Structure 1
Amino acid sequence: MTTPTTDLPPEPAGRRSWLRDHSELGVCVMLLVLGALVLTDALTMDVDLTQRGPVGPRTVPVVVGAGLLVVAVLLAVDVVRGGRGRAETGEDVDLSEPADWRTVLLLTGVFLGSAVLIEPLGFPVSGALLFWGAAFALGSRRFDRDPLIAATVSLVAHTVFDNLLGVPLPGGPLMGVL
């Protein structure tokens, strides 16, 4: 006795294997969605049409969103043509080691502390604390050099954003003295 044959589609193993071999397409989809979201948000942004220069508040988000879309398409074409992501060989990362939660928590605390202190102390002070705290959390112990570098970077960033780019940052009590 013979068993009747049915015309069922083949098992989805072939499709699953193709998707597994092209898993980088998930990153392409994520970049595509993110680019569309950034572009949509930038183009529907309510902005004041009087600006101080040729670059308005929409320029950077539009460039970033368009860049994300271009990268998503180029990556998808590369993946479909057989391109594969390779493991990073330049870093000495031992994936069997646990995460360094102390560093993560220190960086989180420094960032949150800076966000809380920016209004009462101003950007120059909170930015210096942010830069110095990040350097400390990442292992720098140069107490003679790090605070000076952090203060310099913070003051330069405040000056560039506040005076040259027209992005007002809170100066705090220190800017009244300077």
Structure 2
Amino acid sequence: MTATEPAPAARGRRAWLRAHSELGVCVMLLALGAVVLTDALTMDVAIAQRGPIGPRTVPIAVGSGLLLISVLLAVDVLRGGRGEAEGGEDVDLSEPADWRTVLLLAGVFLATAVLIEPVGFPVAGALLFWGAAHALGSRAVHRDPLIAAGLSLVTYALFNNLLGVPLPGGPLMGVL
């Protein structure tokens, strides 16, 4: 054994971790579930509840589900279960990542987060829907902005009027 070679125990530990790499996903799911549950249980609910299901119900269910899935997945991995690639997956792993698309989508999401307060959800949402379609390759210049505006207005109406979740309307909502 040379000075640059790892000790046999370290090699064995690395091999075990490599063989059980799905445990990293378990840890991530466990942490995410804990964060969601903590957020849900410490949520300040100022809205009057309209029935047995309040604003904490869905986050508590999602957080509990994440914790349960992380534990079940860890048990499966420790018993020898392995994730397999999907047979119909059409991904060529030898191709490099499309960073242009990733950066365009990240820019669109960031722009939406910055613009939602000053211009309101209908405008920011339309920019989000159109920008995402453009970043993903759609080049229908006449159709895409109209669909994006329609989707944004329908989403705004559903959340604001039917679900009772107030979204910022922006200056255009005073006109409409």
Gaps of 5+ in 2: 1-7
How far the C-alpha of 1:53 sits from its partner, in A, is: 4.0
Q: Distance in 2 between matches of 1:115 and 1:121?
A: 11
Going from structure 1 to structure 2, the CA distance change for 1:104 and 1:15 (only over 3 Å counts) comes to closer
What is the match of residue 6 of structure 1? Answer: none
Return the TM-score normalized by structure 1: 0.84
* 1:171 matched residue in structure 2: 169
Distance 1:103 1:12, change over 3 A: closer
Could you say which residue in structure 1 is the equivalent of 2:43? 45
Q: How many aligned positions are there?
A: 169
* 34-43 or 88-97, larger mean C-alpha shift: 88-97
Kindly indicate whether residue 160 of structure 2 is the aligned counterpart of residue 159 of structure 1: no
- Aligned position for 1:112: 110
- 80 and 123 in structure 1: CA distance in 2 versus 1, 3 angstrom threshold: same
Does the C-alpha gap of structure 1 residues 49 and 159 become closer, same or farther in structure 2, counting only changes over 3 Å?
Answer: closer
Task: List gaps (5 residues or longer) in structure 1.
Answer: 1-9
Partner Cα distance (2:38, 2:118) in 1 = 34
Which residue identity is paired with 2:72?
L
Residue 57 (str. 1) matches residue 46 (str. 2): no
Corresponding residue of 1:136: 134
- CA shift at 1:14, angstroms? 4.3
TM-score by length of 2: 0.84
Residues 11-58 of structure 1 show CA distances to partners (whole Å, capped at 9, x for unaligned) of 455444333222211211221122122212211222226224443221
**1:86-128: CA deviation from partner (whole Å, max 9, x where unpaired):** 1244333222322222212211222222222222221111101
Match of residue 65, structure 2, among 63, 67, 70: 67
Q: Tell me which amino acid in the other structure corresponds to 2:113.
A: A
Q: For 1:163 and 1:61, how far apart are their aligned partners in 2?
A: 22
When residues 171 and 53 of structure 1 are mapped into structure 2, their CA distance, relative to the original with a 3 A threshold, is: farther
Identity, in percent, stands at: 79
Letter in structure 1 aligned against 2:127: L
Classify the secondary structure of the residue corresponding to 1:172: coil
- Give the equivalent residue in structure 2 for 1:19: 17
